[in-house]
Structure 1
Amino acid sequence: MTEPPCSCGRSDAKGHPLPLSACCGPLHGGEAAPDAERLMRSRYSAFVRGDVPYLLATWHTRTRPATLELEAGARWLGLEIKQHRMTGANTAEVEFVARFRVAGRAVRQHELSRFVREDGRWYYVDGDVR
């Protein structure tokens, strides 16, 4: 049986979708993301899976909420990374569009997110919805 593709949409060099175990799964298991884009992708995948503990653990303590309630019944449809750029030695931005449906309504979240690396780990800081 073939493992289904990771929901973040990453593919290998031949264009084949990566399975969760070769993509965001190791990050969800505690491995550090190599860059802000991979952290962004793993956070999207965590939203799809409803993994609130991972989302909170990868949110910088300076801006992290005490709790996080996910949109009940949200059906995640896809992630598009528009841009990933380093803004300093330990800071980066990722612009993305995430699409989902909730209560039959299509939602398109376009955001420019900011990330910081501390002690070798990337964290989501905040973002501007566009």
Structure 2
Amino acid sequence: MSSGSVGPAGSGDLDQEVLGKRLRQIREYLGLSQQYVTAETGISRSAISEIERGNRKVDSLELRKFARTYQTSVGRLLGEVEGSEAAFSKLERAMVDLTPKDQEEVLRFAEFLSHKRTQRTGGSS
């Protein structure tokens, strides 16, 4: 079923071009090079490049490797986290222009809010 050549991007259930773009955006947002991702996943740099351009399909094992390397879920990579996807996209765009110190501050605040919510729901339920 897997072959060296891939049909048009929209020919399968998942648009390979959209997935590739999402993988590239997440990698760039995290400040990771394709070479780093290669070292972490074992997927060749040329394959990563082809995947990010939407020219190569991603198998389920590779998708799990990307998710682990990017510290996210396979569902997020596949765009199945629709309710929060818009919020994540807005946050990612806002974070790009921040300094590393400011990005750390945003992360600390998000962790604070998460912890606060967990305490509220865990303690009073």
Q: Is the pair's TM-score, using the shorter chain for normalization, greater than 0.5?
A: no
Structure 2 length-normalised TM: 0.29
- Give the helix-richer structure, 1 or 2: 2
Structure 1 length-normalised TM: 0.28
In our comparison, the structure showing a higher alpha carbon Rg is 2
